[in-house]
Structure 1
């Protein structure tokens, strides 16, 4: 599942991302694309136990792949 958050102003991308994670089953992945590095999202993901990988794109945006933790 890919969620394109480009063009949105904070906190919309974070709120949209967290809502999408809630819809995932344990172990499923969500890739988000943001205009900027979502610094406030990372501590929230860590607190909830989700794994994530960050990849800066050629256009300066960021692709973050999040794997929902097992509950």
Structure 2
């Protein structure tokens, strides 16, 4: 699943991402595309123990791949 959060103002991208993660099972992955690095989201993902990797894209946005692990 890919969620395109470009063009949204904070905190909408983070809220959309966490809502999608809450509906997923452990081991499932999600990719999001944001206009900027989601610094506050990183903190939340780390607190929940989720794995994440950020890739800068050519248009200046960022693709963040997240794998849901045990809550």
Q: Scaled by the length of structure 2, what TM-score is found?
A: 0.97
Write 1 or 2 for the structure with the bigger share of helix. Answer: 2
4+ runs deviating over 3 angstroms: none
Instruction: Give me the CA root mean square deviation.
Output: 0.7
Aligned length: 71
Q: Scaled by the length of structure 1, what TM-score is found?
A: 0.97
Map 1:1-71 to 2 at 5 A.
1-71=1-71
5+ residue gaps in structure 2? none
What's the CA shift string for 1:16-56, capped at 9, x where partnerless?
00000001111000000000110110010000010000000
5+ residue gaps in structure 1? none
